[in-house]
Amino acid sequence: MAIGDIVLGANQYGKAECRLVRVDRDSPVHRITDLTVTAQLRGDFTACHTDGDNSQVVATDTQKNTLYAFAREHGVRTPEHFLMTYGAHFVEGFDWVSGGRWEAETSTWDRISVDGAPHDHSFVRRGQETRTTVVQKDGDATWIVSGLKDCVVLKSTGSEFHGFPRDRYTTLAEVDDRVMATSVTAWWRYAPQTQAELEELDFDALHDGIRAELLAAFADLHSLALQQTLFAMGRRVLERYGVVAEVRLSCPNKHHFLVDLEPFGLDNPGEVFYAADRPYGLIQATITREGQAEVPQAWATVPAFA
């Protein structure tokens, strides 16, 4: 085409937010898996965009059907394994599909306790925290970025903030003891870049272990800035999990303002706080390993910095 002609650039499409609940009934002690899956194919879909020619458009409805069928045929060992198997079906099965992006949000269920014993087939949702997984494929390469979101944490002491520059517009007081709270969105990239290598990983154990390290780092650090806490969280994961290549964290500073009770003749020694909604500080950082190659394809469309 001529320079300046209007053309199709990057594009992708698929079925979003398929709610899939799988019950493993191999024994009377059922196990449930609860995923919300978003599928996106990439490849040669130009004719559809320019001419409405659907001959290469695997219908989003077909993508959805395949998802449910694969849950029956292959089970869901972990979200990561399941998405790799599911995604490979399209990349291998359709010539013009060169890659894609498959995301899952996993909800966790605990067993209901009855008279102190866990029930066989009754469950209660653990909470709003969600385990996240993005598998991306391009030809022979596969990348996995897993994470968690809506993990709300708070320290009631062990946090300071001072020493920042003061200019004409600065009014914030320095504090040497404050409440620090955030809702952690974390993403970590697994180092292997082929499906064969990635399939060897024990993603459930990795998720639980990494989550525990993130929380422990949040708790352990006497923090001088939320940035310092993020770096400590990421560093701790990288130190203890060699299979993790880099970590991204996006953390709102959920401000808890000490209420000024002086007008009412009262002191307030770090006891009564007003938790604000908006605005909020927003801190986002990548913690990575010196000298390793950047892998932008793994992070494309991962909303870590939005």
Q: Which of residues 131-150 bind a second copy (CB under 8 A)?
A: none
Instruction: Verify binding: residue 102, a second copy, rule CB under 8 A.
Output: no
Q: Residue 164: CB partners within 8 Å, gap ≥ 6?
A: 170, 172, 174
Residue 58: closest CA among 36, 41, 72: 41
Q: State the minimum distance, in angstroms, from the CB of residue 84 to a second copy.
A: 18
Options 77, 138, 193, 215; binder of a second copy; rule CB under 8 A: 215
Instruction: Verify binding: residue 69, a second copy, rule CB under 8 A.
Output: yes
Q: Is 149 an annotated catalytic residue?
A: no
The amino acid that residue 277 corresponds to is: D
Neighbours of 212 (CB within 10 A): 13
Q: Footprint of a second copy on residues 284-303 (CB under 8 A)? A: 284-292, 300-303
Options 44, 202, 208, 220; binder of a second copy; rule CB under 8 A: 220
**Which range of residues in 80-88, 140-148, 195-203, 215-223 is near a second copy by CB under 8 A?**
215-223
Q: State the minimum distance, in angstroms, from the CB of residue 300 to a second copy.
A: 8
Nearer to a second copy, 12 or 98 (CB): 12
Q: Residue 139: CB partners within 8 Å, gap ≥ 6?
A: 91, 98, 99
Instruction: Verify binding: residue 212, a second copy, rule CB under 8 A.
Output: yes
Dist. CA 144–CA 191, nearest whole Å: 8
Options 78, 144, 198, 246; binder of a second copy; rule CB under 8 A: 246
| Active-site hit among 38, 46, 60, 288 | 60
Dist. CA 63–CA 97, nearest whole Å: 13
Residue 187: closest CA among 285, 280, 253, 292: 285
Please give the distance of CA 74 from its chain centroid, rounded to a whole number.
Answer: 24
State whether residue 57 is helix, strand or coil.
coil
Neighbours of 139 (CB within 10 A): 8
Nearer to a second copy, 196 or 229 (CB): 229
Dist. CA 72–CA 91, nearest whole Å: 20
Residue 129 carries which DSSP code? -
Tokens of 236: 């701790």
Options 44, 74, 92, 124; binder of a second copy; rule CB under 8 A: 124
Instruction: Verify binding: residue 193, a second copy, rule CB under 8 A.
Output: no
Instruction: Verify binding: residue 95, a second copy, rule CB under 8 A.
Output: no
Nearer to a second copy, 200 or 290 (CB): 290
Determine the size of the site formed for a second copy (CB under 8 A). 150
Instruction: Verify binding: residue 6, a second copy, rule CB under 8 A.
Output: yes
Tokens of 72: 């029956």
**Which range of residues in 138-146, 193-201, 202-210, 223-231 is near a second copy by CB under 8 A?**
223-231
Nearer to a second copy, 196 or 301 (CB): 301
Q: Residue 146: CB partners within 8 Å, gap ≥ 6?
A: 80, 131, 132, 133, 134, 187, 188, 190, 203, 206, 207
Q: Is 60 an annotated catalytic residue?
A: yes
Instruction: Verify binding: residue 161, a second copy, rule CB under 8 A.
Output: yes
Nearer to a second copy, 156 or 196 (CB): 156
Instruction: Verify binding: residue 185, a second copy, rule CB under 8 A.
Output: no
**Which range of residues in 51-59, 136-144, 187-195, 199-207 is near a second copy by CB under 8 A?**
51-59
| Active-site hit among 15, 81, 207, 254 | 15
Residue 90 carries which DSSP code? H
Catalytic (active-site) positions:
15, 60, 255
